[in-house]
């Protein structure tokens, strides 16, 4: 059964409830969701549900009807996201696992690892123990193969996955492997499942060649029931009467599993087809069907492979497949997961804002460079806590930096980035603690790019907000006067917000720049008396420039609203009073009206409603809504439950204090 706790349930009530259930013979699992905390009680014990419903802290009790209890969507409504090092499998990202079927030599697996990482895959696969149909086929290198895999992992920074075939190898795999794979032949090896489940490591469970979806979920239940919360399912094809392909890849299993279970599901198109030329097309079809990722066989020289060469991709084929997946992902409102440091996804500007800061843009930097200090163990900072690292877009002196100093009271270290996306990436990579992004200006409207980024990065939540007044100044060189100015640099919004002032000087050339404070840094570096910038007074102070005229904005009631963003888990606060969420309505008349009606009937004060095109889906729209949370938070959570019934897509972006 599922026990949903009241939102104000105390820790003592929760512990008493757990003790009661265990005394009755149940195994109890706690699930903390976005909107509610539930306890799952499973076992062969029988109890009258009313005995539980009357206990303190219990909101409601729901029986689980499926034979697979812990794997059921009834047990957990939200999708499970499995963490493997820095990588999360499930949710809104697509994860690609790649590598050879078998580890053949140290040189082969290291070369393969470099190839797959360069292509954009994030986890390395390779078999050290190979269960083969023929006893005369290559059986793998055993522990030596695991050692080679581990070395390849250390060289590339990629987590590794390998198949375990025997209980005798448990200790060995625990030492070397990040994800244990249960192969198709062992899907119903229940003793192996029990032991692997008790290890607590992430497990990839492949569907057997003659297994039903129910069989697969029941096998997953063995892992979950023995303590493993990190289970990943894998569809790899089933045995049918068709002989042209190695197996029949059952892509219909993906939406079925998604409906029945909260567990993430990957697809193995290599074993599903057995034919190299079919792998890429079926991989893309799997992503389109809703798979959370792929596990693909790739070999530096497939023609010389000791195992499964005909179904292994060449490295260049994987590269093309990854590009195709990246093109497909936005249509599905997803993003392809990449390892930290891949490409130029984390670009930073100089923290000091020196003349060389633009040259620094485009470089990937280490955590040491970002934080400005050597990495130390947490214990070394107990007496003197390190300053919070807070990312913002632009150069030193930007309005976003002012928002940082206005919002955060403790020691802080502003960290400038070239783009808003860089801030999100840095949060994912744990290079900063928080980010500050502008979301709305009282004159120019919403910053849609940042709304779209909040949608693309489901692990990042709104943790707070700050509104500051924007006062623009005309800034020039220390010896400049207004009569000397010929060109004015600023962000396009900065220029637009000062249009009335600029129209009085039609002889000036208006030059758009990527950032207001960056424009001040630019004119300081160029040193030309005829250049000026529009930015805040703080930027003039940072770069030792002169304020030629203050308050040049057209409308003095010019305010920007900033969101404080953080990784999920760091966004929790006491007594939140605001929630932001995004939804898409069902395709039927009055769908949006029904949603707004729920808010009105619940007396929830809506502060904002805005529509945006659904990324990758022409003529379909999403709605961003902000509401006030009343003192009785239960009213809000009940409304959310009702809204979900009338929507096609719903996600809370943040619950915070305004």
Q: What is the CATH number of the domain that holds 580?
A: 3.30.70.260
Contact 424, 453 (CB under 8 A): yes
CA 624 to chain centre: 19
CATH code of residue 14 = 3.30.70.1140
Question: Is the residue at 345 inside a domain?
Answer: no
Are residue 453 and residue 482 in the same domain, yes or no? no
Q: What is the tally of structural domains in the chain? A: 5
Q: What is the pLDDT confidence band of residue 616, given thresholds at 50, 70 and 90?
A: low
| Residue 407 pLDDT exceeds 70 | yes
Q: Taking the CA atoms of the chain, what radius of gyration do you get in angstroms?
A: 28
* CA distances, 556 to each of 312, 403, 468, 470, 508 (Å): 64, 18, 12, 8, 23
Q: Residue 361 above 70 pLDDT?
A: no
- For residue 57, pLDDT over 80 is answered with yes
What's the pLDDT at 355?
A: 31
Average pLDDT on 638-646 reads 89
How confident is residue 346, by pLDDT bands cut at 50, 70 and 90?
very low
Per-residue burial over 91-102, b if 16 or more Cβ lie within 10 Å, else e, is bbbbbbbbbbbb
260 three-class SS: helix
Looking at residue 127, what DSSP letter applies?
B
Residue 321 has pLDDT above 90, yes or no: yes
Average pLDDT over residues 33-37: 68
Q: In what order do the strands lie in the sheet with 546-550?
A: 509-512, 487-490, 531-535, 473-476, 546-550
Confidence at 546, pLDDT banded by 50, 70, 90: very high
Is position 67 within any domain? no
Q: pLDDT by residue (tens digit) across 109-129? A: 999 999 999 999 999 999 999
pLDDT of 558: 85
Mean pLDDT for the chain? Answer: 86
H helices of 334-419, in order, are 357-360, 367-371, 399-407
Together in a domain, 431 and 516: no
The beta strands (E) that lie in 523-596 are given as 531-535, 546-550, 559-567, 578-585
Please write the tens of the pLDDT for every residue from 188-226.
Answer: 999 999 999 999 999 999 999 999 999 999 999 999 989
Q: How far apart are CA 264 and CA 291, in angstroms?
A: 8
- Name the pLDDT band for 362 (thresholds 50, 70, 90): very low
Domain membership flag for residue 73: no
276 and 380: one domain? no
Which residues sit opposite 89 in a β-bridge?
Answer: 82
Secondary structure (DSSP) of 224-258: HHTT---EEEEE--B--S--SSSSB--TTHHHHHH
pLDDT at 425 over 90: yes
User: Do 303 and 378 fall within a single domain?
Assistant: no
By mean pLDDT, which of 117-126, 149-158, 214-223, 447-456 is the weakest? 447-456
**Which residue numbers are catalytic?**
560, 562
CA distance 27 to 293: 31
CATH of the domain at 374: 3.40.190.10
- pLDDT for position 35: 62
State the pLDDT at residue 300. 95
Lowest model confidence (mean pLDDT) among 442-446, 504-508, 540-544:
442-446
Q: Are residues 292 and 277 in the same domain?
A: yes
Q: Are 140 and 131 in contact (CB under 8 A)?
A: no
Judge whether residue 358 has pLDDT over 50: no
Task: Give the position of tokens 């083969």.
Answer: 132
Any domain includes 56:
yes
Domain shared by 480 and 440, yes or no? no
Q: Is 156 found in the same domain as 264?
A: yes
Q: Element (H or E) spanning 421, and its range? A: helix 420-428
Q: Give Cα 510 to chain centroid, integer Å.
A: 39
Structural domain includes residue 23? yes
Question: What percentage of the chain reaches a pLDDT higher than 70?
Answer: 91
Question: What mean pLDDT is predicted for residues 274-282?
Answer: 96
What is the band of 385 on the pLDDT scale with cuts at 50, 70, 90? low
Reported residue count of the chain is 658
Six token digits for residue 348 = 């930073």
Residue 421 domain boundaries: 357-469
Does 348 fall in a domain? no
Q: What is the structure's pLDDT at 269?
A: 97
Is 562 inside a domain boundary? no
Q: What is the CATH number of the domain that holds 100?
A: 3.20.20.70
Whether residue 217 sits in one domain with residue 116? yes
Do the domain assignments include residue 309?
A: yes
Query: Based on the domain organization, do 495 and 532 belong to the same domain?
Result: yes
Residue written as token pair 């939102």: 7
Q: How confident is the model at residue 571 (pLDDT cuts 50, 70, 90)?
A: low
> What's the pLDDT at 364?
31
Residues 486 and 459 in one domain: no
Strand partners, 647: 585
DSSP per position, 463-525 = EEEEEEE---EEEE-TT--GGG--EEEE-HHHHHHTHHHHHTTTTSEEEE-S-HHHHHHHHHH
In this predicted structure, the answer to whether residue 252 has a pLDDT above a threshold of 60 is yes
Residue 182 phi/psi, 5-degree rounding, is -100, 110
Distances (CA, A) of 233 to 30, 78, 180, 208, 249: 21, 16, 12, 11, 14
Average pLDDT, integer, range 357-378: 32
On whether both 253 and 384 belong to a single domain, the answer is no
What percent of the chain stands above pLDDT 90?
59
- Give the CA count within 13 Å in the CB-facing half-sphere of 603: 6
Q: What pLDDT, on the 0 to 100 scale, is given for residue 383?
A: 43
Kindly state the DSSP code that residue 332 receives in the 8-state scheme. G
For position 359, what pLDDT does the model report?
A: 30
At 12 the pLDDT is 85
Mean predicted confidence (pLDDT) in 589-610: 91
Point out the domain boundary residue: 305, 336, 367. 336
Looking at residue 310, its pLDDT comes to 95
Q: Give Dmax over CA atoms of the chain in angstroms.
A: 89
Sign of torsion over alpha carbons 338, 342, 344, 349 = positive
What is residue 656's predicted lDDT score, i.e. its pLDDT?
A: 92
| φ, ψ dihedrals at 124, nearest 5° | -100, 130
* Co-location of 604 and 589 in the same domain: yes
The CA angle 260-81-390, to the nearest 5 degrees, is 150
Angle (CA) 556 557 563, round 5°: 125
pLDDT greater than 70 at residue 579? yes
Bridge partner list, 61:
3
Contact status, residue 297 vs residue 127, Cβ threshold 8 Å: no
**pLDDT by residue (tens digit) across 469-528?**
888 999 999 999 999 999 999 999 899 889 999 999 999 999 999 889 999 999 999 999
Q: What is the pLDDT of residue 649?
A: 85
Looking at the predicted structure, is the pLDDT value of residue 622 above 50?
Answer: yes
Q: Residue 456 has what pLDDT?
A: 86
| pLDDT given at position 286 | 97
Return d(Cα 533, Cα 520) in angstroms, integer: 6
Highest mean pLDDT among 286-295, 334-343, 548-557: 286-295
């Amino acid at each position: 059964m599922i026990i949903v706790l009241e939102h104000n349930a105390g820790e003592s009530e929760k512990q008493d409830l757990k003790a009661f259930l265990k005394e009755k013979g149940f195994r109890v699992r706690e699930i903390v969701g976005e909107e509610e905390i539930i306890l799952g009680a499973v076992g062969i014990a029988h109890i009258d549900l009313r005995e539980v419903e009357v206990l303190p802290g219990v909101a409601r009790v729901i029986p689980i009807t499926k034979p697979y209890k812990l794997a059921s969507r009834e047990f957990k409504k939200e999708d499970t996201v499995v963490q493997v090092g820095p990588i999360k499998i499930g949710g809104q990202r697509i994860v690609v696992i790649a590598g050879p079927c078998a580890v053949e030599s140290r040189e082969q697996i290291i070369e393969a690892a470099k190839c797959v990482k360069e292509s954009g895959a994030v986890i390395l696969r390779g078999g050290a123990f190979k269960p083969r149909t023929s006893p005369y086929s290559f059986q793998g290198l055993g522990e030596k193969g695991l050692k080679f895999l581990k070395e390849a992992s250390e060289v590339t920074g990629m987590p590794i996955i390998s198949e375990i075939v025997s209980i005798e190898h448990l200790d060995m795999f625990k030492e070397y492997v990040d994800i244990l794979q249960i192969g198709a032949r062992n899907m119903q090896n229940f003793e192996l499942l029990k032991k692997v489940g008790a290890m607590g490591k992430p497990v990839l469970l492949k569907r057997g060649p003659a297994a039903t979806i129910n069989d697969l979920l029941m096998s997953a239940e063995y892992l979950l029931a023995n303590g493993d919360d990190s289970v990943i399912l894998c569809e790899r094809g089933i045995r049918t009467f068709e002989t042209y392909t190695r197996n029949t890849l059952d892509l219909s299993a993906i939406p079925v599993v998604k409906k029945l279970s909260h567990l993430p599901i990957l697809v193995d198109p290599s074993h599903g087809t057995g034919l190299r030329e079919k792998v890429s097309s079926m991989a893309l079809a799997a992503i389109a069907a809703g798979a959370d990722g792929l596990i693909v066989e790739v070999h530096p020289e497939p023609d010389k492979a000791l195992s499964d060469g005909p179904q292994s991709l060449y490295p260049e084929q994987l590269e093309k497949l990854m590009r195709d997946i990246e093109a497909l992902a936005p249509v599905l409102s997803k993003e392809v997961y990449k390892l930290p440091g891949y490409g130029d996804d984390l670009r930073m500007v100089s923290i000091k804002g020196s003349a060389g800061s633009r040259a620094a843009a485009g470089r990937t930097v280490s955590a040491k460079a970002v934080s400005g200090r050597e990495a130390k163990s947490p214990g070394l900072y107990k007496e003197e806590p390190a300053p919070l690292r807070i990312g913002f877009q632009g150069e030193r002196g930007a309005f976003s930096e002012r928002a940082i100093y206005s919002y955060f009271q403790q020691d802080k270290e502003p960290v400038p980035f070239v783009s808003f996306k860089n801030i999100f990436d840095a949060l994912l990579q744990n290079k900063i603690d928080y980010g500050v992004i502008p979301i709305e200006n009282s004159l120019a409207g919403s910053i849609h790019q940042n709304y779209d980024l909040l949608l693309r990065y489901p692990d990042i939540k709104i943790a707070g907000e700050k509104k500051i007044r924007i006062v623009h100044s005309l800034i020039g060189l220390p010896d400049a006067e207004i009569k000397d100015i010929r060109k004015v640099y600023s962000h396009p919004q900065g220029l637009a917000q000062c249009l009335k002032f600029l129209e009085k000087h039609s002889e000036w050339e208006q030059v758009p720049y990527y950032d207001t404070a960056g424009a001040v840094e630019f004119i300081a570096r160029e040193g030309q008396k005829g250049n000026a910038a529009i930015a805040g007074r703080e930027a003039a102070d940072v770069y030792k420039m002169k304020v030629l005229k203050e308050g040049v904005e057209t409308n003095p009631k010019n305010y920007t609203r900033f969101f404080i963003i953080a990784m999920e888990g760091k966004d929790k606060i006491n007594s939140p009073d605001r929630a932001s969420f995004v939804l898409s309505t069902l395709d039927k008349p009055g769908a949006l009206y029904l949603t707004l009606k729920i808010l009105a009937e619940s007396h929830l004060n809506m502060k904002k409603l805005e529509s945006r095109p659904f990324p990758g889906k022409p003529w379909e729209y999403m709605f961003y809504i902000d509401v006030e949370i009343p003192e009785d938070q239960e009213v809000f959570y009940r409304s959310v439950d009702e809204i979900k019934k009338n929507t096609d897509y719903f996600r809370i972006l943040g619950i915070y204090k305004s």
